[in-house]
Amino acid sequence: MFLKWILVLIIMIVPAKKKLEPEPPYGLMVEFIREPSGLRILDPKPEFSWIVPDDAKSQTAYQILVSSSIEKLDNNIGDIWDSGKNFSSQSSEVELSGTELAEYRTYHWKIRVWDYMDKPSLYSEGQSFTTGKFSDYATTRNKFQATIIRPQKIIKTGSNSYFIDFGKDTFANLVLEIIPTDRDTLIIHLGEKAINNNRIDRDPGGTIRYQKVLLPVESGKTNYTLDLPPDSRNTGPSAIQLPDSVGVITPFRYCEIENCSFELKSGNVGQKAYWYYFDDGLSSFESSDTILNQVWEICKYSIKATSFAGIYVDGDRERIPYEADAYINQMGHYYTDREYSLARLTNEYFIRHPTWPTEWILHTVPMFYYDFMYTGNIESVNEYYEELKHKTLFNLARQDGLISSKNVTDEIMINLGFSNMKDRIRDIVDWPPAQKDTGWKLATPEGERDGYDMVEINTMVNAFYFRNLVLMAELAGYLGKDVDYILYRNQALKVKDTINKKLFDTTRGIYLDGELSRHSSLHANMVALAFDLVPEEYKRSVIDFIKSRGMACSVYGAQYLLEGLYKAGEADYAFSLLTATNNRSWWNMIRSGSTITMEAWDMKYKPNSDWNHAWGAAPVNIIPAHMWGIAPAEPGFSKAVIRPQLGNLTHSKIIIPIIRGTITGEFESSDISTEYLITVPANMECDFVIPDAQGKMVNLNGKMIRNETGIISLKPGINTITIIIN
């Protein structure tokens, strides 16, 4: 490792051959869309984004040309818009200025930038886009992809029967390219779960998918696609409907074909898989722990595979968006692909289509907040600001600041977006509940709430409420709404004070489940820790209690359990949960045979659960955002923070896409040193935070410095950091 860094430093020191012009920008996007051909841009004044080339280091100015023809663009004529040399470092979400585009027209654009020495780059390659029907505000939807996936394994199980394994569970249909010799009927079985690796489980339990389909074939016809029957539950009025061009699809990994009189080879059969536009190559993670690597892979694939509906949904059973599911999906998507439209479309869907759980509604503001932080574009927040004020549940507050869903009125329900006044929000805490809480026959006796006492003033609800107030204050500040900023900030302080006075047991040093309750659950304490409610003098007692409860929450609750642990510096314990091999672990999902994260840790914890639920994919955001600690410090990643807590790992490498390019990190640990190699995209700042190195001598890019604060400012490009272990 040291030799590699020496070579890197030599390369940095030895002058390169002088270039006449810096490299051109790349990674162009219009309205978050990377490849807009075939789509309709719905904004008359769209935003443009690009990646500043590494050799520029920083951008001091840019020039955008928008032309009515490719010929004019090639001749550097921006007859629609020529921004001129605009002295700005902004490289994402730059709005068209001075004109509005026409509907149903094709335009062409390119960009050049001036580097840190005020040298202009070459122009980027041109990009074309076509407008559609404009509205006052709209988010452009990206395209769907259809991919034919060939089998990894075909086993002949009889004279006329085959077992086929495609390797992964995928939302797809089955396609065949065969040459029948006569009219006949194939018997086809599709499923997610196999028995003994050569037979599909016909009774897999819960809503794990299996179905049998008859396929008539005839001489002279070679191409076949199954006519799958629609499922009444996931195609009903509340479900997200797929485009007609997609048709009916179902999740399956395995296929059996019976009554097959011809030899079946890999080229004869395929999964025709559907997903939202996704680039697998933009993110990766590896480490010295093989279990953690496999957990990353199943979670990353879950984000891709479950994007098939064009809005984040809760898996295949209902195909209905739920805010809590969508939050975990959104955060995972940010770290696996340079894609932002799907999250924004989902967020905006919830404005008019909320779901009943109180805490689910309280995910809406965080989703809009992170849309802004990861993109730098505040249009969506601005458009729905008044609706977001209602989504904080501010109007449910009593005199001391705390809220209760029991206080909801028809007016509040209307303001939240509900159209049926028979609906009422109610607290959920976690899912499924215990049988004692609901009597629901499919709930296990203990449920996933750790015995939570469901009292009227609920600690988990009020912790989420506090978080909403903090984030709304920030958003109000960014929008210049100073009165609202003060209102939400002061209310947040009030709620925090009341929670710590009325919902905290000072004798035991832990949080109660709510007002008048004497019970303390994992949930009440983990969200208090995750949302910065815990006073410093009680952090140790809260953490110790959390660690005594293990994984006494669902796959959804694990998101906040792990967030809280990493915030508190409990990296080793968090790592033990991520790599656990018991029944309540991600490894158990892999061991069970699923290739998409499951709705529950195991079927015994939720007997009707499915095998294709991305709300179980928390590690794909926890690993980059909290274990590696990579997050936006300012909107649009104009500044990033990297705060690694890599625990007992001896090696790790991560690559994540951001709107400004790609952040990569490498880590090696030995008995004598801890070494990092961090690559920061051009045109941004980055703080590298190593609290354990505070006051120590650190080698930064070959120069010894004393790290007084624990924070090192990294420059764009390659940064090498070595900490000598005393």
The Cα–Cα gap between 510 and 430 comes to 19
Confidence class for position 449, pLDDT limits 50, 70, 90: very high
Structural domains of the chain, with CATH: 2-140 (2.60.40.10), 145-276 (2.60.120.260), 280-627 (1.50.10.10), 635-724 (2.60.420.10)
Q: Is the pLDDT of residue 285 over 90?
A: yes
Q: Is the pLDDT of residue 252 over 70?
A: yes
306 vs 690, residue with greater confidence: 306
Output the CA–CA distances (angstroms, integers) from residue 98 to 82, 85, 136, 138, in the order listed.
Answer: 9, 15, 17, 20
pLDDT of res. 7: 47
How much is the mean pLDDT over the chain? 94
CB proximity list for 513: less than 8 A, separation 6 or greater:
452, 453, 454, 455, 458, 459, 460, 519, 520, 521, 523, 524
Neighbour tally for 280: CB within 10 Å: 11
Q: What is the pLDDT of residues 338-358, one digit of tens each?
A: 999 999 999 999 999 999 999
pLDDT of res. 181: 82
**What share of the chain has pLDDT > 70, as a percent?**
96
Q: Is the pLDDT of residue 573 over 90?
A: yes
**What share of the chain has pLDDT > 90, as a percent?**
87
Q: β-strands 47-51, 61-67: how paired?
A: unpaired
Upper half-sphere CA count for residue 542 (Cβ side, 13 Å): 29
Angle between helices 571-578 and 290-305 (to 10 degrees): 70
* 660 closest CA partner among 688, 645, 679: 679
Q: What is the pLDDT of residues 204-218, one digit of tens each?
A: 999 999 999 999 999
Confidence class for position 2, pLDDT limits 50, 70, 90: very low
Q: Is the pLDDT of residue 15 over 70?
A: no
Tokens representing 258? 């019976």
* 718 closest CA partner among 665, 667, 679: 679
Q: What is the pLDDT of residues 370-408, one digit of tens each?
A: 999 999 999 999 999 999 999 999 999 999 999 999 999
Do the Cβ atoms of 669 and 723 come closer than 8 Å? no
Output the CA–CA distances (angstroms, integers) from residue 339 to 141, 246, 282, 287, 662, in the order listed.
Answer: 11, 21, 10, 25, 13
Neighbour tally for 498: CB within 10 Å: 20
Q: Is the pLDDT of residue 366 over 70?
A: yes
Q: Is the pLDDT of residue 191 over 80?
A: yes
**Is the model's pTM score more than 0.85?**
yes
